[in-house]
Amino acid sequence: MLLNYLAITVGAFIYAFGLNYFIVGNQLAEGGITGLAIILHYLFGAPIGLAYFVINIPLFFMGVYFLGRDFAFKTIYGITIVSLFIQLTSHMAGPVDDLLLAAIYGGTITGLGLGIIFKYGGTTGGSDIIGRLLHRARGIGMGETLFSIDVLVIGSTAFLFGKEIALYSLVGMFIASRIIDALQEGIITHKALMIISEKEKEIQDAIFTVLDRGVTVLNGQGGYTGQERRILYCVVSRREIPRAKELITAIDPNAFVVLTDAREVLGTGFKPHS
């Protein structure tokens, strides 16, 4: 438990640093409630950390009332620590000549910070609370809500500060979302193989002996022929893919093979369960 809060604290600092040093320091914008706080800062000079905290207060109490107290402590901790670090790092700025570089670095570092927060069960409130409330009240998907809020905030940024700032900000937001996904789901380092072949036993044995990988045999049926088929399912590392394809082709050039991404693989021979 203590480790989780320590990680959330570290993630909050990284996020705040990236936000102030690259995003605000180069007059770029953000989405969500943070983006709204940045707009208030650009227009009226309002401290971003304070504006972020104040906007989140009514949202937090609405969340407690409608969603219950279970999420309350980590949410208020996340909101408070992010607001505090945004304020403490507000003097930091790293203006660069290339706004694209600022957006790339800003998106990478803020995404890293948010990814750590989310990975350890934290939340930064804001749009997340609104999304949960609308999902419970109206059945609206959280993704739709978060996207709509981002569009509204970035659209306001384009109107107030110009399209160029908005477009570069979108680049940073996209990169941040990819970094968050990578931390949550893992970087794609494995592939899942589904193999349908009349020589499934030979292929299975080759995977066992040459690749030293396990194989799961699934029972299937051809949709057109109605013929019973045995489907081999196997997960291999990225570097093993060429060798796996070579083995399959050598045994049955007509084998039907599907490769899909396996973001996170837990179990024997791969990452242990945490």
Residue 81 in contact with residue 123, Cβ under 8 Å? Answer: no
pLDDT at 12: 95
Q: pTM above 0.85?
A: no
How big is the chain, counted in residues? 274
For each of the domains in the chain, give its residue range(s) and CATH number, in order of start: 2-185 (no CATH), 190-262 (3.30.70.120)
pLDDT at 129: 83
pLDDT at 70: 65
DSSP 266: B
Tokens describing residue 101: 């570089």
pLDDT at 162: 93
pLDDT at 153: 94
Q: How far is CA 256 from CA 197, 215, 270, in A?
A: 6, 16, 26
pLDDT at 51: 96
pLDDT at 18: 96
The values of phi and psi at residue 180, to 5°, are -60, -45
pLDDT at 271: 64
Q: Is 207 exposed, middle or buried (0-12, 13-18, 19+ CB in 10 A)?
A: buried
DSSP collapsed to 3 states, 211-231: HCCCCEEEEEECCCCCCEEEE
Tokens describing residue 238: 């990225």
Residue 231 in contact with residue 194, Cβ under 8 Å? Answer: yes
- CA angle 253-259-261, nearest 5°? 165
What tens-digit pLDDT sequence spans the chain (274 residues)? 788 899 999 999 999 999 999 999 999 999 999 999 999 999 999 999 999 999 999 988 888 887 777 667 878 898 999 999 999 999 998 888 899 999 999 999 999 999 898 888 788 888 878 877 887 777 776 657 777 888 899 999 999 999 999 999 999 999 998 888 778 766 666 889 999 998 989 999 999 888 888 899 999 888 878 888 889 999 988 778 888 898 899 999 999 999 888 766 766 666 666 5
Cα–Cα dist 178/260, whole Å = 18
